[in-house]
Structure 1
Amino acid sequence: MIGRRVCAALAVGSAGLHAAMLGHTGSAVTTGLLAAMIAACLFCAWDLWRDDRPRTWVVVALMNLAMIALHLPAPAHRHGGATTVDAQSSALMAAATLVALVEAAAAAAVLYVRSRGQYAALHRDNRT
């Protein structure tokens, strides 16, 4: 229970990082995407806080992998061919990506351990 609550707190922290990035957006599309990410992070946090089903961990893993996929190609803003990087925005993006990596790894570990335990239990049951 403590592990999933820690991951829920990480998801809230990720939502906070995305909220801090809102001040550094250059377009309505980016603002909308960040708002969607904030909502997704808060959904995962709520889901983890109240539930410990495998479905919850799968959603957390997939959501964080999607966040990583969105963060990695977007470290800079392009204006007329020139690339400018806001240092604070870049640091926030790096922190959000790191939190997403930690959450994805935690979810994968939980799913792995649980699936191994279920496999062993099923395997034992089939022997009798």
Structure 2
Amino acid sequence: MMPLGAAALPRFLAHSAAGAAAGCAAVHGLALLAVPHAPMALLSAACLLCAVHLWRRPGRAAWVAHVVLTTAMLLAHPPVAGGHVHSAATGLAAWAAPVAGLLAVVALLLAAVRGLGVVGSHLCRI
């Protein structure tokens, strides 16, 4: 088995966080089908933009924006069933908030690993 190189793990973390952000965008997009409103459309677009930045140019600004957006999303969507703070939802909207919240938790954990240098300080220069 060949070593992946020093850039492989940070790239993997960025691509994984981008995947979580894209998942959040998809969940918000699906929720728009059930309950269309402008703030959710904006969140979906912001998540998608964040995913693109993390995938293509995962620098400090992309990671900071990712953490800020994800934290704000977690405040709006606690990752527990019935924890949605907007209204009592049913059907598609009922599962969208917990799924988006769980994706946000995963995304923040990836950012923490990247930012705190858990994988090694020489690999985690942002």
Identify the residue that residue 117 of structure 1 maps to in structure 2: 121
1:62 aligns with 2:68: yes
The 3-state SS of whatever aligns with 1:117 is: coil
1:32 maps to which of 32, 35, 38:
38
Alignment root-mean-square deviation, CA: 2.1
Unaligned runs of 5+ in 2: 1-10
Contact 2:18–2:52 at 8 Å: present in 1 too? yes
The higher radius of gyration belongs to: 1
1:18 aligns with 28
User: Larger % of strand: which?
Assistant: 1
Q: Secondary structure at the match of 2:84?
A: coil
| Alpha-carbon distance, 1:109 to partner | 1.9
| Structure 1: stretches of 5+ with no match in the other structure | 78-83, 119-128
> Any conservation in 2 of the 1:75–1:90 contact (CA below 8 Å)?
no
Q: Which residue of 2 aligns with 1:43?
A: 49
CA distance in 1, matches of 2:85, 2:19: 25
TM-score by length of 1: 0.73
Question: Which has the larger share of helix?
Answer: 1
Which of the numbers 96, 104, 114 marks the counterpart of 2:108? 104
Q: Residue 92 of structure 2 corresponds to which residue in structure 1?
A: 88
Aligned 8 A contact 2:25 2:48 in 1: yes
Which one-letter code corresponds to 1:10 in the other structure? A
**Runs of 4 or more consecutive aligned structure 1 residues displaced over 4 Å after TM superposition:** none
Q: Match of 1:85, SS?
A: coil
Q: Percent identity among equivalent residues?
A: 25
